[in-house]
Amino acid sequence: MSLFAIGDLHLHFQSELKAPGQLYGPVWKDHEVKFRENCVRMLSGEDTLVLAGDHSWGKKLAECEQDFRYIAGLPGHKILTRGNHDMFWEAKKTAHLNKLFQPELTFLQDGYLPYRDHALVATKGYTFEGPFYLNRSRQVIGWDEAEAAHAAKLVLRELERLRGSFESARADGYRKFIMFLHYPPTSILEERSGFTDMAEEFGVEQVIYAHCHGESRFHDSIEGTFRGIQYHLVSGDYLRWVPKKILD
DSSP string covering 90-109, please? Answer: -GGGHHHHHHHHTTTEEEES
Applying CB under 5 A, which of residues 32, 39, 54, 204 lies at the interface with Fe ion?
54
Question: CB of residue 235 vs Fe ion: minimum separation in angstroms?
Answer: 7
Q: Across-strand partners of 134?
A: 140
Q: Any residues with CB less than 8 A from the CB of 5 and at least 6 apart, and which?
A: 49, 50, 51, 52, 180, 208, 232, 234, 243, 244, 246
Binding residues among 197-226 for Fe ion as defined by CB under 5 A: 211
Cα–Cα distance list, 143 to 7, 155, 156, 195, 213 (Å): 28, 17, 20, 21, 22
Q: Determine if 236 is a binding residue for Fe ion (CB under 5 A).
A: no
Q: What angle do CA 88, 56, 8 make, to 5 degrees?
A: 125
To Fe ion, the closest distance from the beta carbon of 86 in angstroms equals 9
> Closest CB to Fe ion among 52 and 162?
52
**Based on CB atoms, which residue is closest to Fe ion, 66 or 84?**
84
Lay out the site mask for Fe ion across 65-104 (x = CB under 5 A, - = otherwise).
------------------xx--------------------
Taking the complex as a whole, the smallest distance from the CB of residue 57 to Fe ion amounts, in Å, to 10
In the complex, the residues that contact Fe ion under the rule CB under 5 A are: 8, 54, 83-84, 211
